[in-house]
Amino acid sequence: MSAGILIVVILGIAVLGFILGRQRALSLAARDNVKLHSLPGYYGHSVALFAAVPAFLLMIAWLFIQPILIETGVSRMIPDSVIPDGGARSLVMADVHRIADGLDVLAEKGGLSEEELSRMRADFTNVRSRLAEVGVAVGSDIPVPVLDAAREYRDAKHLGSSLMVFAVLVVSIVFAAIAYSRVRPEMRARNVSESFIKALLMGSSLVAILTTFGIVASLLFESIHFFQMYPAKDFFFSLTWNPQFRGGSDLGIIPLLWGTIYVSFVALLFAVPVGLMIAIYLAEYAGKTVRSLAKPAIEILAGIPTIVYGLFALITVGPFLRDWLAQPLGLGNSSSSVLTAGLVMGIMLIPFVSSLSDDIINAVPQSLRDGSYGLGATQSETIKQVIMPAALPGVVGAILLAASRAIGETMIVVMGAGAAARMDLNPLEAMTTVTVKIVSQLTGDTEFASPETLVAFALGLTLFVFTLCLNVLALVIVRKYREQYD
Amino acid sequence: MTDATATLSNNNVRQVGGSLLVLDERTKKRNAAEARFRRMGQIAVMIGVLALIGLLASILSNGLSSFQQTYIAVDIHLDAAKLDKSGNRNPDEIAKVTTFGYMPLIQEAIKKKMAAEGISIDGLNAKAAAELISKEAPATLRNYVLSHIDAIGTTVPFKLLASGRIDGYYKGRVTMASAELDKNVSPEQLKLADELKQAGILTTAFNWDFFTAPDASDTRPEAAGLGVAILGSAYMMLIVLVLSLPIGVAASIYLEEFAPQNRLTDLIEVNIANLAAVPSIVFGILGLAVFINYAGLPQSAPIVGGLVLTLMTLPTIIIATRAALKAVPPSIRDAALGVGASKMQSIFHHVLPLAMPGILTGTIIGLAQALGETAPLLLIGMVAFVREYPAAPPEGFFDPASALPVQVYNWTQRGDPAFVERASGAIIVLLVFLVMMNLIAIILRRRFERRW
Amino acid sequence: MNDATMNNALMSNVKTTTKADVMTESKISAKNVQVFYGEKHAIKDVNIEIRPRSVTAFIGPSGCGKSTFLRCINRMNDTIDICRVEGDIAIDGENVYDPKVDPVQLRAKVGMVFQKPNPFPKTIYENVAYGPRIHGLARKKSEMDEIVATSLQKAGLWNEVKDRLDAPGTGLSGGQQQRLCIARAVAVSPEVILMDEPCSALDPIATAKVEELIHELRENYTIVIVTHSMQQAARVSQRTAMFHLGELVEEDDTDKMFTNPNDQRTQDYIMGRFG
């Protein structure tokens, strides 16, 4: 039974529980001629919630825990002898997964019965070619223990899902039955269902924590894998980035960081003055009409997906800069360059800087402006010497947030900055960034468990830590600032 | 007040000069600085607006032409001798004839057409003339024959796609000069195209296929469409909506109405604020590691994309929902509690309905963000070349599909410049969707916005 | 427009007890001043003469237009888009609403102290030095130091802050902040100082200090003060003007106003019957 059908069945049990629970409450109340404590619907609710929620929780937990158990169990079956030199156990496990999937396909499309599959022996049958027939490619011939492990893996998975269906259904029905039997007119059904719902609400808010946990766990876990295969020292301090398909890669992050910081710097160099001046102009100078036209126009920039900016960089800004700047000056020949990506990213960042700064400038109390005007300061003197210093922490926060955006931005640099890891000062040269390499290492055809792929997780971790620090710093600064004038 | 104020005089410091009616030098300078500063502000606003205009103009000028497509009308004789050699109209046997078998039919047809119209171009053989028609045409023909077995042996009028270069010729992408250097098209072929156009055989029409057709391979940009991508995006949006709205609203209600002031609540709040600013690509890594590698969900599937985008959208929805809940005045809650409703009832019966417009607005904006998101989808394999439409939900959620923004990226990675046009066209489609969603959000806000 | 005869003619419009010296000496003279906030007619045809080196108090119930009128004198109302001013306000015979007048230059001559102390989020020194700096009153550091010291002394704050000029101005107590704002205004060497309810946010002790300060500043400056407190007006001012519903009800010597006002409305207000 697939998970989808199981969900539908449980929902069915819940609906049934609702109807029955409600009826039972009504009929009991009618029989004993007493008043129900709560509205009849709440009795139904309480049964339905007991039928569905524990079952779903069990199902989710099962789906998460089963892979861990099977994985460790099967992994133990593989002797060290079949692990190729310099390879990792995880590589072999990837094969196991693939073969197990292949066996599934064989059973389905190839028409092989379970019996035939279990009789299939790696030393006699050419499993590899049979798998290839159904479109499952395996890198090399399959050693006996690996096929056994694959079979074990497959069996365990099947057993696991059957068990899960059974357990989930039992939980659903048992809980529904208990809840049903507890339905009495004097039962505080509303309180029961409400505390249940409150628990659900709280559970939903935990999704945020789970997400963060998931991010950190997946980044850390695979990064540790990576650092087992590739020395951390080389990753953090090597000046070359040169991944090879067949091992022996140089995977130094420094050229990528250089590109990231250079592009972000160019972007901020453009976005901060422009965004800040826009914020100042719209907050302090612009009349109603200008403000009502220009403000939404600038904000549209924030709603445009980054892929659009990427395309803009690729087809318009890149060629323009190449033909009108790089080639006449003899500074380069590439349409993707730090300047291209930086400028386009700068456009993207304008609304971030301007709308946040606008809020912050507006939060500066009018009394400070009055004080300054009252002394005979001009508007620009007031802005430069009173408002900006007062708003500075908030503006710095806004800029930090923009910087974090710039560092984490992907599509614009993928399409505008280039793919060559280079440490150069010439902004008209193509360079590459951390995010570009995460994309290219994870979308290539390389083996997942190789350092060339896993490096993406280490890059991701670095990126995450970088942006997290910037975000937290920015949030703290902005919050402090808000408190100051609230 | 013991300071010796009285003894101090004003005379030892300079003073702002005499008459108010005469501007002193310094004031003139200061006013000039003021004007300069103001102009800088105007320039900045102008830069912002011009950037927006430039961006849109670039996309529109490159992409609008993708909604028009060049077609060539020919009457093709579906020769039974070639398509059904045994003559028993057995579909299985007819299916054995590959697209290569249909090529000669097209060549024949165009030759006849040229002869009938009296068109002939020096140095252009029938094969080269047939190259005016897209490589996609034999497949179109084959599909037609397989679904209309009875048509074999008859002559059927077809409106076939012109090849990408011919299409480009009428969109200004290909010129006689560029054709000289191009091994895919010759100036003679372009001349023939002009003749055909004059004869009314070659026409331009609205490109409906662009919205419905699946992606096509590198060599036939003229056939590439957004069908699979639009469907994939729609599936993902459905998943995002179904998951993120209830979870987001539930989380917001808890945080806004029930959460006690404690460490856990703080932790949740900090987490939400942070997730809103985590780079999108990190969510892609999460999706790859957790949903695909760990949970074993299929690559390129809308379910994975939907889950990843749900996690990305949640902070947006939670922030908007909390703002909407906060905007409902406490008096409403008090009134409900005052007539004996439980806290839960007061929230679900009174507060939530009043906050609904704000929540929906936030949700739509969150969905619009998710619709344009690209980077995380690249990592979960949605860049794959997918020609098959995903099945209907729920199975379709697990089938490989593309997504609108990813399709754009995919096309920009192709060699043929015709794909740039396609990519820009796809962006226009994407932007139209976004504009519609935002308009709905704005209308909702205008319609239901309440000032308490 | 601003010759003496006009002024004399003007004065006769205002029902005051005229004294010879008043007629000859006037620092600020307002003639037919009308102020509109969008559609609202906030000030209706106000005519008044303000004497130099004296304290003039504006009293009246809330919303009577006294603050609005005060803010017209140094054109602070320019910063409000919907505000429109008609009529003439002349300082030393020069109409401040003349198109040739730059409000920046005007405000250097006519300083202002606000209802709520509003020191800039800068150091005490920088707060005082701000005005002289933008107007270029000091050529070098030593001159600026002197201006700051003198101004703080004039504002009676020097002894309290001389050891912590680098401390932020916002860290001072409310009364100190207000005196810092007065020092800030004095530092530009204005001729007129406008005070818009300068003590309304202060406790009685701080208020007493500020009032004492106003008393001392009178020797060098023309001071116009808006106040809600009748007692304050009686304590600090020589002349008092009573506003009601945007009109100037009457203007006279403070002593006379509080003992024997001409107008019934003034009488009622002073007796606490409205406002």
Residue A133: what pLDDT? Answer: 67
Asked if A277 and B36 touch (Cβ cutoff 8 Å), the reply is no
The reply to whether B50 and B126 lie within a common domain is no
Selected for mutation to probe chain B from A63, A410, A461 (highest B CB count within 10 Å) is A410
Range(s) of the domain holding residue C128: 4-270
Q: Please report which confidence band the pLDDT of residue B59 belongs to, taking 50, 70 and 90 as the band edges.
A: very high
Among candidates B313, B323, B328, which has minimal Cα distance to B365?
B313
How far lies B53's CA from each of A266, A300, A347, B5, C34, in Å? 22, 11, 12, 62, 46
Residue-level pLDDT, tens digit, chain A, 486 residues: 577 788 888 899 999 989 998 888 888 888 888 888 888 888 888 888 888 888 888 888 888 788 778 877 787 777 777 776 555 666 677 777 777 777 777 777 666 666 666 666 655 566 667 776 666 666 666 777 777 788 888 888 888 888 888 999 999 999 889 888 888 877 788 888 888 889 889 989 999 899 999 999 999 998 998 998 889 898 999 888 988 877 778 889 999 999 999 999 999 999 999 999 999 999 989 888 998 999 889 989 999 999 999 999 999 999 999 999 988 888 888 889 999 999 999 999 999 999 888 888 888 888 999 999 999 899 999 999 999 988 888 889 889 999 999 999 999 999 999 888 888 889 999 999 999 999 998 886 666 778 888 899 999 999 999 999 998 898 888 877 777 665
Question: Is the CB of B52 less than 8 angstroms away from the CB of A298?
Answer: yes
Q: Does C107 touch chain A (CB under 8 A)?
A: yes
pLDDT on residue A257: 94
Residues B72 and B128 in one domain: yes
**Does the N-terminal peptide bond of residue A296 adopt cis geometry, omega within 30 degrees of 0?**
no
Contact flag C216-B1 (C-beta cutoff 8 Å): yes
Residue pair A235/A398 in contact by the 8 Å Cβ criterion: no
Q: In a 3-state reduction of DSSP, which class is residue A364?
A: coil
C-alpha B80/C-alpha A157 separation (Å) is 53
* Interchain proximity B26–C104, CB inside 8 Å: no
Record: contact B59-A311, CB cut-off 8 A: yes
A195/A262 same-domain check: no
Residue with tokens 């090529």: B103
In chain C, whose CA is at the least distance from the CA of B27? C105
Q: Are residues A291 and A200 in the same domain?
A: no
Q: Which residues contact B96 (CB under 8 A, 6 or more apart)?
A: none
- Claim to verify: residue B250 and residue B185 sit in the same structural domain: no
* Rounded Cα gap, residues B393 and A163, in angstroms: 26
CA distance A404 to A402: 5
Question: CB distance from B413 to chain A under 8 Å?
Answer: no
Q: What is the mean pLDDT of chain C?
A: 86
pLDDT number for residue C240 = 93
Per-residue pLDDT tens digits for B152-179:
888 888 888 988 888 889 888 888 888 8
d(C-alpha A282, C-alpha A353), whole Å: 13
Provide CB contacts within 8 A for A397, sequence distance 6+.
A356, A360, A473, A474, A475, A477, A478, A481
Q: For residue C134, which residues of chain A lie inside 8 Å, CB to CB?
A: 375-378, 381, 385
Between A73 and B326, the higher pLDDT residue? B326
CB neighbour list of residue B361: distance below 8 Å, 6 or more residues apart = B320, B324, B441, B444, B445
CB B412, CB B218: distance < 8 Å? no
Does B237 share its domain with B167? no
H/E stretch holding C241: strand C239-244
Q: For the residues C136-162, what does the mean pLDDT come to?
A: 91
Please give the average per-residue pLDDT across B42-47, as a whole number.
95
CB within 8 Å: C118 and A365: yes
Amino acid at A398: A
Instruction: Judge whether C275 lies within some domain.
Output: no
What angle is formed at CA B41 by the lines to CA B39 and CA B45, rounded to 5 degrees?
Answer: 115
Token pair 């550091």 is found at C141
Pick C118's closest partner by Cβ from A288, A371, A385: A371
Element (H, E) at C30: strand C28-37
pLDDT at A122: 58
Q: In this complex, which chains have at least 3 CB pairs below 8 Å with chain C?
A: A, B
Q: What is the dihedral of CA C207, C210, C211, C215, to 10 degrees?
A: 170
Is B381 a domain residue? yes
- Picking from A211, A236, A262, the residue at the C-terminal end of a domain is A211
Output phi, psi for C114, to 5 deg.
Answer: -100, 170
Residues of B contacting chain C (CB within 8 angstroms) = 1-6, 8, 10, 12-16, 19-24, 26-27, 30-31
Same domain, A108 and A182: yes
Query: Is A423 within the bounds of a domain?
Result: yes
In this predicted structure, what is the pLDDT of residue B388? Answer: 83
pLDDT value of residue A311: 94
C180 interfacial to chain B (CB closer than 8 Å) = no
Domain of A343, in residue numbers: 250-485
Q: Are residues A172 and A74 in the same domain?
A: yes
- Same domain? For B154 and B283 the reply is no
Answer whether residue C42 is part of any domain.
Answer: yes
Q: Tell me the percentage of chain B whose pLDDT exceeds 70.
A: 95
The domain boundary residue, chosen from A211, A236, A271: A211
Residues 127-186 of C with CB under 8 A from A: 130-131, 134-135, 181, 184-185
Choose among A464, A458, A461: nearest CA to A232. A458
Higher local confidence (pLDDT), B279 or A90: B279
Residue A395 placed within a domain: yes
Q: What is the pLDDT of residue A333?
A: 85
CATH number, domain at B312?
1.10.3720.10
Where is pLDDT greater, at B33 or A486? Answer: B33
Structure tokens at A54: 């524990």
Asked if the structure places residue B220 within a domain, the reply is no
Check residue A445 and give its pLDDT: 65
Query: Shortest CA distance to B238 belongs to which of B105, B390, B349?
Result: B390
Please check whether residue A227 lies inside any domain of the structure: no
CATH classification of the domain holding C219:
3.40.50.300
One DSSP character per residue, A407-464 reads HH--HHHHHHT-S-----S-TTS----HHHHHHHHHHSSS-TTSHHHHHHHHHHHHHH
Angle at alpha carbon of residue B119, lines to B113 and B120, rounded to 5°: 115
Say which range, A106-120, B230-244, C2-16, has the weakest mean pLDDT: C2-16
Residues B54 and B85 in one domain: no
In a shared domain, residues B282 and B200: no
B103 pLDDT more than 60: yes
Per residue in B186-205, is it b (16+ CB within 10 Å) or e — as a string? bbbbbbbbebbbeeebbeee
**With contacts defined as CB-CB under 8 Å, which chain C residues touch B15?**
137, 189
Sheet holding B202-206, edge to edge: B155-161, B68-77, B202-206
Answer for the pair C61, C244: CB distance below 8 angstroms, yes or no.
Answer: yes
C155, part of any domain: yes
Mark whether B417 and B438 lie in a shared domain: yes
User: Which pLDDT does position B8 carry in this prediction?
Assistant: 41
- A407, with CB counted inside 10 A (0-12, 13-18, 19+), is buried
- Is A337 part of any domain? yes
Structural domain harbouring B326: 227-448
Distances (CA, A) of B281 to A430, A439, B319: 21, 8, 21
**What 3-state class would DSSP assign to C88?**
strand
The answer, for C158 touching chain B at a CB cutoff of 8 Å, is yes
Give CA separation, A474 vs A273, A283, A301, B156, B314, in Å.
18, 22, 22, 68, 21
Average pLDDT, chain B: 86
Same domain, B289 and B177: no
- Quote the number of domains for chain B: 3
Cβ of A442 and B288 within 8 Å? yes
Q: How far is A397 from chain C (nearest CA, A)?
A: 18
Measure A211 CA to nearest chain B CA, in Å: 7
Task: Residue C18: name the closest of C30, C9, C28, C27 by CA.
Answer: C9
Q: Is residue C113 domain-resident?
A: yes
Rounded to whole angstroms, the Cα distance separating B294 from B288 reads: 8
Choose among C44, C104, C39, C103: nearest CA to C68. Answer: C44
Residue B450 has pLDDT above 70, yes or no: no
Q: Quick one: pLDDT band at residue C275, thresholds 50, 70, 90?
A: low
> In chain C, count of helices (H) and strands (E)?
12, 10
* In a shared domain, residues B274 and B415: yes
Q: Which of A196, A209, A211 to mutate to test the interface with B (most CBs of B within 10 A)?
A: A211
| CB nearest C105 (choices: A371, A376, A389) | A376
The sheet with strand C239-244 has its strands ordered as C110-113, C192-196, C222-226, C55-59, C239-244, C247-253
Question: Looking at the domain assignment, is residue C263 inside a domain?
Answer: yes
Task: Return the SS3 of C94.
Answer: strand
Q: How many domains does chain C have?
A: 1
Asked if C150's CB is within 8 angstroms of B20's CB, the reply is no
Torsion of CA C129, C131, C136, C138, to 10 degrees: -30
Kindly state whether residue C23 falls inside one of the protein's structural domains.
yes
Interface ipTM: 0.89
Shortest CA distance from C112: residue in chain A = A374
**CA distance, residue B48 to nearest chain C CA (Å):** 26
Pairing of the two strands C247-253 and B68-77: unpaired
Task: Specify whether the CB–CB gap between A263 and A338 falls below 8 A.
Answer: yes
Give me the pLDDT at residue A43, please.
87
The predicted pLDDT at position A91 comes to: 67
Interface size A-B, in CB pairs within 8 Å, comes to: 271
Band of pLDDT at residue B101, cut at 50, 70 and 90: confident
Helices (H), B342-401: 343-346, 352-372, 375-379
Q: Is B52 on the interface with A (CB under 8 A)?
A: yes
Decide if C195 is inside a domain: yes
How many structural domains compose chain A? 2
Do B291 and B321 fall into the same domain?
yes
- pLDDT, position B7: 38
* Shared-domain flag, residues B74 and B49: no
